[in-house]
Structure 1
Amino acid sequence: MDTLTLKIIFMIGLISSSAIRLPHQQQNKQNTVTDDRKTPLETGLLLLVFFGMLALPLLYVFSPWLNFANYKLPLWANGLGVVSFAIALWLFWRSHQDLGENWSPTLQVRDGHTLITNGIYQSIRHPMYTSIFLWCIAQALLLPNWIAGFAGIIAFSIMYVIRIGNEEQMMMDQFGEEYQTYMQQTKRLIPYIF
């Protein structure tokens, strides 16, 4: 596919993800935080992901500044990027729907927070992270640029590795044995595998 088509597809995905998240962000502002574990490190990690998954891709899409790092991919790889982004968006939407008022962009427990173990969460503990990893793969396949294409997977991988242990500890502190049992019955990212 030509670069313009790939950029348009990526932007459609980006706008779609914003449309999925926006209502949940609005609802999230109204919830009272009862346990806030947001640290400067957490803020820095979110900023890193912002640059890797939004700022650098938008710089690539709307300017020629990163064109020196472009590469070519076969059509099948671009098609795989479209499929990956479509699955990522569905999983992103499903995760938000199943979490409802329990969703938070940071390590926070809200008033009335409940442990969600149904829907997509019945087989994956962190489907939103799975969706974002798929998004990052799509980013590399739809934005054929060594900087903008791979910035998302690098940034999000760093955040995931540093954050996941803290998030699961927060859930164990909140839900105790119920969460430990849930952990034994599910996989973190990929059902039945990982």
Structure 2
Amino acid sequence: MNMSVENAGQILWVLGIVAWYVIRFPFERRARRTRVVVNRRSLTDRIGLGAALAGMAVVPGIYVATGFPKAGDHAASAWGVALGAFLFFAGVWLFRRTHKELGKNWSISLEIREKHKLISGGPYSLIRHPMYTSFFMLALGQALLLANWIVGLAGLAGFATLFFLRVDKEERMMTDTFGEEYRQYMDRTKRIIPYIY
């Protein structure tokens, strides 16, 4: 049986999403055991997380499972799937690195945990929010792996909603917690793209 380029892109997307979940699951379990001392969860935080989940998991998952919505379908290209796979799996790799660096400091929401430390090593030495960078790479990869304009834009819209609703609040929370140490860290790093932004 010959596998089409479109099917290859869908299979790679599914494998990447499974890898993403396998990486996240143990950190979610461990995070529940570390006491939260500052909780800045809000409605906008939930909206951002919901938009990211919808755009980067639910909408593409429905598309891969059912082919809906067909209206946005376009021809898949081998180079697009290859580039999409590279971006997607590089994003998965960065996602894993950020979790390993954060360890017990990791949280799905805007929270400071007991004995929280400012992490500035690994990917955090160049950018303050490498997890958002990984989401951006996943969204770009999704747009190339799945041959549907609507599904591709859903991932980018989900990422953008999460990022723009949360990043300023997250940086305020970190400044409130770490003060001058975080301000100096901000001076020597970029937000999500090394040396650029």
TM-score, normalised to structure 1, is 0.96
Residue of structure 1 in register with 2:51 after alignment: 48
- Selected match of 2:26 from 18, 23, 30: 23
Could you list the per-position Cα deviations for residues 95-116 of structure 1 after superposition, in whole angstroms to 9, with x for gaps in the alignment? 0000101111100111111100
Where does the alignment leave 5 or more consecutive residues of structure 1 unmatched? Answer: none
Pairing 1:59–2:62 present: yes
Residue of structure 2 in register with 1:129 after alignment: 132
Quick one: percent identity of the two aligned structures?
A: 39
Where does the alignment leave 5 or more consecutive residues of structure 2 unmatched? Answer: none
Report 1:163-182 matches (<5 A): 163-182=166-185
What's the Cα RMSD here? 1.1
Pairing 1:70–2:97 present: no
Higher deviation after alignment, 63-72 or 100-109: 63-72
Determine helix, strand or coil for the equivalent of 1:38: coil
- Matched residue count: 194
Q: Distance in 2 between matches of 1:27 and 1:19?
A: 14
Residue of structure 2 in register with 1:80 after alignment: 83
Contact 2:84–2:141 (CA under 8 A) maintained in structure 1: yes
Q: Distance in 1 between matches of 2:160 and 2:144?
A: 17
Q: Distance in 2 between matches of 1:19 and 1:59?
A: 20
Pairing 1:7–2:10 present: yes
> How far off its partner does 1:73 sit?
3.7
Contact 1:96–1:103 (CA under 8 A) maintained in structure 2: yes
- Selected match of 2:188 from 177, 185, 192: 185
TM-score, normalised to structure 2, is 0.95
Could you list the per-position Cα deviations for residues 63-113 of structure 1 after superposition, in whole angstroms to 9, with x for gaps in the alignment? 032122211243211111011012101111110000101111100111111
Contact 1:139–1:150 (CA under 8 A) maintained in structure 2: no
> How far off its partner does 1:47 sit?
1.1
